[in-house]
Structures are given as structure tokens and as C-alpha cells.
Amino acid sequence: MKSISKSLLALLVASILSAGLAAPAAAATPKKKPVASKKAVKPVARVVKKPARKLAKKPVAAAAVATAATAASAHDEGPLPKLASSAVAVIDQTTGDVLYEKNASAVVPIASITKLMTAMVALDAQPSLSELISIDKDDIDTLKGTHSRLAIGTRLTREEMLRLALMSSENRAASALSRHYPGGREAFVAAMNRKAHELGLTDTRFADPTGLTAENVSSARDLVKMVDAAHQYPLIREFSTSEEYQVAVRGRAQTFRNTNALVKNDGWTIGLSKTGYISEAGKCLVMQAWLNNKPTIIVLLDSWGKLTRIGDAQRIKRWIESVASSGATFRG
């Protein structure tokens, strides 16, 4: 009996001890979980939220800048024309604003664009335009061997020689004008360079009055100034834009035509025009024309294709009219 009582007592004590130890363990578990939960959540929240704010700002800002730049570009200019001429300048003649430039400071041969300066120097001397001057052997092109319909011995008025030099780019006519200048051709070329200096043409040099030599050089920016200066002469405006003119050569009527086909194009209003070509210069064209009802100077140098300079002029015209019709403005 005592043995049983001792056994029961041992079991009772073990049971009480077991229950006492288990209760604190169970009570400790809930206390630890909230603490662990708080410590785990806070760092995750910091890591996720801060980078999320940074990443959200950067793409939005970049997209806004890109959109604004695209809109500004489209509003300012629209798509720029793709031109084949190597050097280009397009200027608003009234304001002087640059509408388009490409290699505008490159100094290159200018071929018969030279004849605009030839005409200005010839007219500055205030000669008699009705005086007859002749073509002689000194006017033959021995440099390039170009052909001319003005035969040796042809006598025309100075005015007619000037018209043919500008309209048809007649080399012999330009040569004759320089020979009949006070002091002769040497004095004439000196006057050409002096005039260039007076006009502020820092990239421009002349060695002859025709442009047959590659030593006659300028830049598109300089030629803008030269075209503007030449446009101040009423006879240069008239003669350079004449469609055709007839003169008597050896007793027979000869019809000379403008080397720029655009002067007879109804879609153009041209106030001055001059073309040029030698192998070193490529095809060249300068014009004063009204584009979008504004006087505009166009200079196109070194176009190698037969119709490239005309095509470039047409592309410039379409571009300016397109920008204007869209309500955009040029950056200048």
C-alpha cells in the first residue's frame, strides 16, 4: 500500500512539474512572433518603397524630355530636306535669319557664279552700255576649251555682253567686259577682289572674270552676301532672270537661253539667278527667290548630278512651304 501510494505520488508530482514547464513555453511563443514579424517587415518596406520612387521618376522625366524635344523639333523646322549639294545656305533676305546650312563655311571653287561679281564691277565703272565692244582671240577659253557661239569679231553693245554673261553664262562675253575695263583685265580682276573685300567676303578670291579657273573660290555664306549685293543692281536682276535673248552673230540671229530652267517655271518667283559649272566646282546655283511670300537667298554648291541643283532647289521650296503651312517656325 505504501508502495502504491509512493508510485501515485511520484506520478502526481511528475504530472504537475510537466504541466508547469509546458505552460511557460507555450506562453513565450506568441510573444516572440510579433517581434520577429515587426523586424522582418520594416526592412522590406524600406527596400521596396524607396527604389520604387526613384525608378518611377527617371523614366517619366526622360520620356517627357524626349517628347518635348521631338515636339520642339517638329514645331521649329519639321523634317529637314535631304540635299545632294555639298555646300548649302538658305537665308531669309529681309531678316538675315539662317533657314538652312550645310558646310556653309567650306571654301570651294564657284565657277560661273563669279559672273555676278563681274557684272557688279563692270557696272560700278558706270560705262556706256550702248558702246560696241568686240570678241577677239584673247577671249578664247584656252584653259577648259569651252565652246562659244560668240565668234571672233562679233560686236555687241556692252549691255548685250552683260546680258549674255549673266543669262547664258557666256564666257567670251564676260572676258570681253573685263578687257574693255579701264586698265584692262588685270585692273578688272583687282577691282573684283577689292569689291569682295568691301562686301566683307572673307572667303572669296578671284583670279579671272569668267570662273573657268578653280582659283576663283568662295563659301556658301560669302555667296549669300554676294547675291544680296548683286540683287541691288536692277540690270543684274533683269538680265540674270531673262528667259532668252536674241542677238546677231555674223549677220545671223542667234537665240541664247537662260541656264537656269526655273526662271520660266510658273511655280517660282525669281529675282536673281546664276548657275555655274567646272569639274572642280561641280554644278552650282544661286538665286534670290520668293518662298512663302518672303525674299529668300539660296546657295547650292558642288552638285554633281545633271539635275541635282534644280532638284535641291525644289526640295528647299517644298520644305519651307511645308513648315510655314504647319504653323511652325525656323530656329535660324
Q: Judge whether 115 counts as a catalytic residue.
A: yes
Residue 74 corresponds to which cell in the numbers above?
517638329
Is the CB of residue 129 less than 8 Å from the CB of residue 245? Answer: no
Please tell me which residue in 85, 86, 102, 112 is annotated as part of the active site.
Answer: 112
Which of 115, 274, 283, 317 is labelled catalytic?
A: 115
Cβ contact 93:228 at 8 Å: yes
Spatial CB neighbours of 148, under 8 Å, sequence gap ≥ 6:
141, 170, 171, 172
Q: Are 301 and 87 in contact (CB under 8 A)?
A: yes
**Crossing angle (nearest 10°) for helices 114-124 and 234-241:** 140
Instruction: Tell me the longest C-alpha to C-alpha distance in the chain.
Output: 167
In the chain, beta strands by DSSP E: 87-92, 98-102, 108-109, 132-134, 155-157, 217-218, 244-249, 252-257, 270-278, 282-291, 294-303
Nearest-Å Rg of the Cα atoms of the chain is 42
Active site residue 37: no
For the chain, percent helix, then strand, then coil, each to nearest 5? 50, 20, 30
Annotated catalytic residue within 85, 86, 148, 169: 169
Query: What secondary structure letter does DSSP report for 250?
Result: T
Q: Is the CA virtual torsion 164, 168, 172, 176 positive or negative? A: positive
First and final CA of the chain: distance in angstroms? 120
Please state, in angstroms and rounded to a whole number, the distance separating the CA atoms of residues 171 and 323.
Answer: 39
Q: Compute φ and ψ for 277, nearest 5 degrees.
A: -160, 130
For residue 88, how many other CB atoms are within 10 A of its CB?
22
Q: Catalytic residues, which ones?
A: 112, 115, 169
